[in-house]
Every structure is written in structure tokens, then in C-alpha cells.
Structure 1
Amino acid sequence: MSGHTQTAAAPAASGTTAPAAVADRPLVEVDGLIKHFDLGGHFLQRERPTVKAINDVSLGIRRGEAFCLVGESGCGKSTLARIVMGLLDPTGGAIRFDGTRIDGLKHTARKPFHRRMQMIFQNPYASLNPRRTVQKTLEEPLRFHFPNLSDADVKTKVEQVMVSVGNDPSWGTRYPHEFSGGQRQRISIARALMVDPDFVVADEPISALDVSIQAQVLNVMMDTQEARDLTYLFITHDLSVVRHFGTRVGVMYLGTLCELADTATLFENPRHPYTRILLSAIPRISTEEMKPPGLPGEVPSAMNLPSGCVFHDRCPLANARCSAEVPRAQCQADGTLVACHAVEEGRG
């Protein structure tokens, strides 16, 4: 979404007085983010093929909230998360954490932010080292960021975090292959919490799990958020999860942010035509990808983006302006941000 988002002030901690500028500042800010992937090509080609994965996205994530990013597979939500975490470099734009710009920082300069920013990956079967016991896996980030901790303190910390996410501390001597998917994901959550982060990115953390245990893992994440005052960036394609978990929602389509709103507002009064279509048939918690009903055609290629609004060739409200002009984010009376000419002009 082009332009800057407006964010509400976060309350100061009890017994302290935070400066107004700090209280008003989002914990994580993404400003004009662009990410293009150069695919190479033949040396005789005039233009190298490029995937335009993220296109001028701006948003702010407030302290203590669960900010959900939703959209169809391939819309760029996971790419955005990886850029925020420093796993990918942006092509353009800026990323700030607690007021400090972190994109482009060298590894040494970024180390303090590595502790404060942790990630839970989608596949619990691939994210844990099969050759390490659970104990060694959980000890590793603690020993890296706090090298002066004694062995006794490390052991105590591991046990405390394991218990806090509903794991048995005796699991420490076992290996990942000895656990179910839900147990592995709770171990992954424990690993992310070992260094007491402020911000956790959860990239589709339940989509690879059986439906019967998805709710269990979500409850663990919600409980730990409340207990530790965590801030989440939660990536998902499942709007039924968002409705119960998220405080605010950003809706992405083909590398752009279409709409950003408080969760209750989005579900009660969706504005963007794409958001309305997504919400018209909310799927149950499932492992299936989001498949919006009633959309003609296929999602265009990110190598050849449509002109104007990237959604115009599938939008029931599109006109000539939509195909010629990129919509800018407009703030509505209820605080929702929408990038849509039809909404701006009152069409439909």
C-alpha cells in the first residue's frame, strides 16, 4: 500500500512514563518496501526477467498487537516477512525496528535486533535440526546471545520456556523425529521464545498441521503473547484464524497492500472489492490454500504486472481509471486504509 499508515499510541508500562514520540511509534515500520527478484536470462536479452514480488508496501505494527497479513498463495506476504527479519534484502524502501532503520545493517550491527526479533516457520518437520536433541536446539540461541550464562541457568531457562508452551521438560533428551507435528511446532515456538524477544514473525505456523491440533498451537501462541507482551506478525491464508487471533489485518494481492483495518472493522465492513470476495466465503480452519470464490481468470504473473491497479482485470467494479492509474491508500472515517479507485469514487 502506498503511503504511510497511521498507528495508535501504545500504552506506557505501568509505573513509567514513556516519551510521547516513543509511545506513538510503531514497533515495526515498513516504508515503501520493494522486492524484485532478478531471474537472470540469456545475455542477448534486452530485459532480464524479474519477479516483482513486493511493490511499494507501507505499514506499521504496533507494540503488543497480533498483526495478520493475509492473501492468496504467491501474493508476497511471506517475502515481506523474510525481508523484515533480514533473511532477504529489499530492492527499495526502508524497515525500522523500534525507531532504528535496520535494512542494510551489517551482521554485527544487526545482532542486537536478532535477539529481539524471532521467527516461527511454517513446516515444523523442516525447521528443526534432526541431528540435535531438543535440549541442544533450545540452548543454541540462548548461548549465542547470552554467552555468560552458566550451564545451570541455561538448563533452568530451557525448562521454564518448555513448560510455558505446554511441553514436557523431559523431551529435552529426544530428537525431532520422535514428535508429532504439533509437538514439533510447540518446540519451535519455545525456541523463538528462548531469548525473550519483543517481536515474533509466525509464517503460516499451523498450515502444515492436522486440523485437530491447529487450535492447540494457536492457543499456545495467544497465551504466550499475553504472558510476555509479544508483538506478532502472523502470516496466514486462513481468515477464520485471523478473526479470532488478529488485532489488525493487512490484505495483500500480487505484491501490493489493498486494505488495512482493525480485525472487527474488516469483517463487519470490508471496503476493497478483493477483501469482500475473500470474506464472502470464509473457509474453516484447514490446510487448503485460500481460494476466493467468484473471481474470474487467474492471478496474473508477478513478472508481468497489470498496469494501474494490479487487481483491475479481475475486479467487478473496475473502469478505465483502474487500468491506467495505480490507486493510493486513502484513510476512511473509521481508520481503515484502502487503495481502491472504486472505493474513492463510491462505485458499488
Structure 2
Amino acid sequence: MNSTATSPVPEATQPLLALRGLEKRFSLSGDFLEQLKFKGGKLVRHQEHVHAINGVDLEIQRGEALCVVGESGCGKSTVARTVMGLITPSAGEVHYAGQRIDDLSTKQLLPYRRRMQMIFQNPYASLNPRMTIQQTLEEPIRLHHPDWTAQRVKDKVNEVMQSVGIDPDWGPRYGHEFSGGQRQRIAIARALAVDPEFIVADEPISALDVSIQAQVLNLLMEAQQRHNLTYLFITHDLAVVEHFGTRVAVMYLGRVCEVAPTATLFARPRHPYTQALMSAIPRLEDDRPQHIRLEGEVPTPVHLPSGCVFHGRCPHADTRCREEVPALIVTDDGGQVACHAVEEGRI
């Protein structure tokens, strides 16, 4: 045997999910005929795109909850949907447990569909109004376990309903008969029904009353402990991040600005945009930093600025920031930041 041959990396030591240079563009120009325009007496093809995500690199380790935060339109939900295969990336790769999955066929993806589940933002829209709760929860089980008996499927549904605090007697009822918090519990039960190991939660509590949000969040945390789940948690609520997340990725205009352990990010944010976000959190402490007011408008994702996408609003921007896209570099506290000013020691 050749002693220099390399053995494959054990699955348990790899990131559960890895995104490599992920990009997604949405066309604004319609079909081919709509793209044809007369310009200077000539017929030219004009195309415009929304650049939703632009070169996202992220890794999620087994058992952690990675929270992705940023303002509306920064690409958080597009990342979530691309990871789950609901959107096809324009460029880049999605790897799950060491296997590239973004280029697989529907049939090849089926085993990963059971391991990866998603909880959507709006519990009023994510449940089929024509199906009872029993049918809603049985459907994924029957799809992934066609050999199970009807009784075994029913027992599994009862088990998962009880695990999220739902009375199994609710089974014959329809989604419209429940409140938002109850519907989201049903949506969580549907995600857990096939015993996944990875869950993408796309703002799962933002459509709920504040009084219900904590209950659903605690339910997700309990499910993580009970089932050893890994989360990709999309949110804009920094209070939720501080309570729920293991690590945090901050996005701005389709790019990742900073990635760091939660405690590190809240104690010492490095990127100027992250610092502005953190300064906006209401605090009772007298020694909290002053609120940072950003100047200028958020650029449009149709016409992205050159260089660092944040340079137009950053007080530390210089010529290099306007011309060169910053790469994520590892910081001394174990995080990553994409900022020329941090790299050069200017901030």
C-alpha cells in the first residue's frame, strides 16, 4: 500500500454545511425579446440583474446555531433558500457533509431532503389550508419512509406533536383553526417529523406576537438539545441572536462583513457596519457606546458599488476601500472580518 495516499476526511470532522463563493442574481429584464432595445440606431440587448448574494463563504459546524443577521434586502433569506435548493445559485457551491449538493438532480437530492428541513417565516402561508394537521405531518414521513405501516406513521406523528406541545387530538383540524404561535409549532413539528440533523429557520418568530416569540424560541432550543440539531437561523432581531446563536454572520448588500462567536461579536464588533448595528441595541448600562449614525443611503443591489459595498457609508473608507473588494480575514479573537481598515490596523 502506498503510504503517501490520503484517506478521505471523516464526515464528523468536516463542516456540516459549507458555502463557497455563493452568488445569486435575479433578472429584471424579462425574456429575450424584452431585453432588445434600440440605442444609437442599433438593436442591442440590455440586461439588468438584482445581485442578491455576492460571493458568500460560510461554514456551519455540527451542533451549532449560526445566526445570519443584517437589514432587509441584504440577502439573508436568499442564502437560506439557496442552501435548501429552493433557488439555484448563479455561481458558487453548496457542500453538505463534504458532498456538493447544489448540482444534484431532484432524485439525487432526496436523501438530503430528509436530513435538511426548513421552517418558514409566515406560519399563515406555510401550511396547506386544504390539509388537516394530521395529513400535513404524515406527508413528509410517508415520502421519506414509504415502507412504514400506517400505524407506525401515526405513532410518529403523535410523538412529534407531543414533543412541540401540540395535543394529538388536534390532528383532524385545519390550519386556519389555530393561532400564529400554534401554527408555527405545527410547522416545527413538520420539520422534526423526519428526524433531520440540520434545520434552516428563516425568521421563524418575526410574524408572531412578542408574547409568543419566546415560547417558540425556547421550543427550538429544546429541540436542538433533544435531537442534536444544527441550525442556520435567519433573523434581524439582535436580541434573539444574543440568546440563541452560537456564532453570528453579519451581512450587508449580499456580502458577509463579519463572522464571530456570539459573545465575541457583542463584546467587540470589528467591522464598522457591525459596530453601527450593535450601537443601535437599546441598553440600560451607562457606559454603553454612543449610537453610531450612518450617513448616506443603502446602495441598490441592481448597481453594486465598486470595492467594498459599505464604503459609501463608512467613516473609515479610503481609496483602497473604493477600488478593492475586501476578503474575509481571520482576526486574533477567532472571528473573521472583511474590512481593509481592520486589516491595516486603522481601526
How high is the TM-score relative to the length of structure 2? 0.91
Superposition deviation, residue 177 in structure 1: 0.7
Tell me whether 1:166 sits opposite 2:165 in the alignment. Answer: yes
Matching of residue 39 in structure 1 with residue 34 in structure 2: no
1:26 alignment counterpart: 15
In the alignment, residue 147 of structure 1 is paired with which amino acid? P
Please list every run of 5 or more consecutive structure 2 residues that lacks an aligned counterpart in the other structure: 1-7, 38-43, 284-290
Report if aligned partners of 2:128, 2:136 keep a CA contact under 8 Å in 1: yes
Shift of 1:325: 0.8
Instruction: Describe the superposition over 1:14-38 as per-residue Cα deviations: whole angstroms up to 9, x where unpaired.
Output: xxxxx86433310001011111112
1:52 and 2:45 are equivalent in the alignment: no
Aligned with 1:249: secondary structure? strand
Gaps of 5+ in 1: 1-18, 285-291
Alignment match, 2:313: 314
Shift of 1:54: 0.8
Q: Is the 8 A contact 2:35 2:45 kept in 1?
A: no
Cα distance in 2, alignment partners of residues 333 and 166 from structure 1: 43
User: C-alpha offsets along residues 264-313 of structure 1, whole Å, 9 cap, x if unaligned?
Assistant: 110111000000000002269xxxxxxx9612222111000011000000
CA distance in 1, matches of 2:81, 2:282: 26
Distance 2:131 2:237 in 1: 32
Q: Which amino acid aligns with 1:266?
A: L
Residue 73 of structure 2 is aligned to residue 74 of structure 1: yes
What corresponds to 1:127 in structure 2? Answer: 126
* Alignment partners' CA distance in 1, 2:257 and 2:46: 29
* Residue in 2 that maps onto 1:112: 111
CA distance in 2, matches of 1:134, 1:92: 38
Determine the structure 1 residue equivalent to 2:198: 199
Query: 1:1-348 to 2 correspondence within 5 Å?
Result: 21-40=10-29, 41-44=34-37, 45-282=44-281, 294-348=293-347
Deviation at 1:241, TM superposition (A): 0.2
**Larger-gyration structure (1/2):** 2
Q: Residue 162 of structure 1: CA displacement?
A: 0.5
TM-fit CA distance, 1:167? 1.0
Q: Deviations over 1:192-226 (max 9, x none)?
A: 00000010000000000001100000000000000
Distance 1:282 1:152 in 2: 50
C-alpha separation between the residues in 1 aligned to 2:12 and 2:341? 35
Identity among equivalent positions (%) equals 64
Please name the residue that 1:15 is paired with: none
Q: For 1:151-196, what per-residue CA distance to the aligned partner results, in whole angstroms no more than 9, with x for missing partners?
A: 1111110010011111111111111111000000000000000000
In structure 2, distance between residues paired with 1:134 and 1:250 = 35
Q: Which whole-Å CA distance do the structure 1 matches of 2:190 and 2:206 have between them?
A: 19
**Contact 1:239-1:283 at 8 Å conserved across structures:** no
Task: Say whether the 8 Å CA contact 1:142–1:195 is kept in structure 2.
Answer: yes
Q: Which amino acid aligns with 2:277?
A: L
Kept in 2: contact 1:69–1:235 (CA 8 A) = yes
Where do 4+ consecutive residues of structure 1 move more than 2 Å? 19-24
- 1:179 and 1:66 map into 2 onto residues whose CA distance is 29
Q: Which whole-Å CA distance do the structure 1 matches of 2:282 and 2:233 have between them?
A: 17
Cα distance in 2 between the residues matched to 1:65 and 1:101: 21
Counterpart contact for 1:274–1:315, Cα < 8 Å: yes
Query: 1:119: how far off?
Result: 0.3
Q: Deviations over 1:108-162 (max 9, x none)?
A: 0010001110000000000001111100000000001101111111111001001
Deviation, 1:42, is 3.2
Q: Take 1:96 and 1:54, find their aligned partners in 2: how far apart are those partners? A: 17
Letter in 2 for 1:165: V
Deviation at 1:46, TM superposition (A): 4.0
> Which whole-Å CA distance do the structure 1 matches of 2:180 and 2:80 have between them?
23
- Going from structure 1 to structure 2, the CA distance change for 1:345 and 1:63 (only over 3 Å counts) comes to same
- Residues 151 and 23 of structure 1: CA distance in aligned 2, closer, same or farther (over 3 Å): closer
* AA at the equivalent of 2:22: L
Aligned 8 A contact 1:240 1:283 in 2: no
Between the aligned partners of 1:321 and 1:247, the Cα distance in structure 2 is: 33
